[in-house]
Amino acid sequence: MTTGTAATGAASETSGTNLWIALIAGLTVVGSYGLACVAPLAAVAALAALTLRRTEGLLLVLIAWIVNQAVGFVLLSYPHTADTYAWGAAIGVAAVLGYGAAVAVTPVVTSRLAAVLVAFAAAFAVYQLALYAFGVATGYAGDSFSLSVVGDVLVINAVAYVGFLLLHRVAVALALVKPAQPAATTASA
């Protein structure tokens, strides 16, 4: 039997997590619209691995991807073609794989700073490699994977990641969300 205080605490934690997911998803809308097709999904994946339990982290990654696709098709007039749908799905799969990579590597790191860096490096590398593999498999690995373009995508994701991490610290300080409960150290939601 739970007490009223325990139930209120659980509801508060859930609402804080939901607020965090909604905030990051909302910022993804801004990023998706402002940067066209370069949503910082690798940054979202690394952030989710560091700040949320597994189910919630996966939910954040999926919501960010769905929001990105909605912005693309509704606001940016992406063409409704099989190729565009296939790339959209590949982006979603790549984001989930990047999240999985970040979740997998962070438990082996002992320092918080190293975990922050390793989570991002793993998420970004796997995200980009998955997209490149899809491009090769479908016969398109052109300009989108040049060092210049990948470097630009890296910068966008790195800046977004730092911003997300700072925003998380502020949200924790204001008691809007609970301190990080990384997916890598938490068995399940």
pLDDT at 127: 97
Q: How far apart, in whole angstroms, are the C-alpha atoms of residue 71 and residue 91?
A: 14
- The more confident residue out of 129 and 76 is 129
pLDDT at 124: 98
Instruction: Return the pLDDT at 155.
Output: 92
Reported as a single tens digit per residue, the pLDDT across 120-137 is 999 999 999 999 999 999
| Average model confidence (pLDDT) across the chain | 83
Q: What is the pLDDT of residue 48?
A: 93
Contact 108, 78 (CB under 8 A): no
Q: What is the pLDDT at residue 41? A: 94
Please answer whether residues 21 and 56 qualify as being in contact, where contact means their C-beta atoms are separated by less than 8 angstroms.
yes
In the predicted model, is pLDDT for residue 24 greater than 80? no
Instruction: Identify the sign of the CA torsion 42, 46, 47, 49.
Output: positive
- pLDDT reading at 117 higher than 80: yes
Q: Is the pLDDT of residue 7 over 50?
A: no
pLDDT for res 178: 77
